[in-house]
Amino acid sequence: MSRLVLTALRGQLPPGLFALKFWRVQGQIRMLSSLPVAAVCQMTSTPDKEANFTACRRLVEQAKEGGASMVFLPEGFDYIGSSREETLQLSESLDGDIITRYTHLAKKLDVWLSLGGFHERGHDWKTDQRIYNSHIIINGQGEIVSVYRKGHLFDVELTSKGVSLKESAFTISGPRLVPPVQTPIGKVGLGVCYDLRFPELSTALQRHGAEILTYPSAFTVATGTAHWEVLLRARAIETQCFVIAAAQVGVHHAKRTSYGHALAVDPWGVVLGDCGGSDVGMAMVQIDLQGLHNVRRDMPVQQHRRAKEYYCSLD
């Protein structure tokens, strides 16, 4: 059963950031604020695409009822296959059924969607049956406004941890970053899962105006336990951005389990929302851009950066 996570602050907020307030009307939870609200979602995808869509639609509808203007869904929101063959067979193009249904949903509810980790058939599908891991932004009119194809592929063999994944066996690495997207909650810079481990990506997006970084993910339990929260907080602190990371949780099939803990972090590194490690649900968070600018003003890290030549001087 899905649940709405009422987020609680951990630690002491600096001046200019905020506490969360809620009010209840006829059983619905809504935020009491004029600030824009984002919903970061957590789900358990399986190879059943229809069941996954039903679960996502329910989360998006619940988020809209709660006052969210943008909803973030995790990597593999469409499905998580149990084999390479099934993963490829279930894939679609951007103009296929699944994305068309999400464009209709966004338009119907007048809500922006971050669909983070769609199995998109490659441009040479007929001759080279491989896919992109694509992060798609859809606006409230149901239009696709940005597509980022994951640049860093998860090819990892952690024998002692029981982790063995080779994403490049069926996935094409994306060719480039895409500019941050202006949304109702601020300028959003796009990554996907393993991209989180490469700070060059987040700092590049921040230099091009990002106020919010998003890393929809399906972290393994072993890597999530060790690295998930600390990496997300590090990306937030070093870029002085909000970080929103939707996540997969629980058992997808016999070969795959995900860590969960969909997270939202503020520019000071404070965790604003954590969906936990077991349940499907969401965290509703307010995006205070004035608080972000206060943090950047009081600690002007970006102004203190040296010229590129300085950081290359060891080369």
Residues acting as catalytic residues: 75, 150, 193
d(CA 142, CA 178): 20
**Cβ count within 10 A of residue 198:** 14
User: Which residues are within 8 A (CB) of 41 and not within 5 positions of it... i.e. 6 or more apart?
Assistant: 56, 59, 60, 63, 71, 72, 73, 74, 246, 262, 275, 281, 282
Phi-psi region of 143 (alpha: psi -120 to 50; beta: other; left: phi over 0): beta
Residue with tokens 């973030």: 72
- Which pairs from 159-165 meet CB under 8 Å and 24+ separation? 161/220, 161/222, 161/223, 162/222, 163/220, 163/222, 163/223, 165/220
Dist. CA 193–CA 153, nearest whole Å: 9
Instruction: Tell the residue number behind the tokens 């602050």, with chain if given.
Output: 9
CA distance linking residue 66 with residue 9, whole number of Å:
19
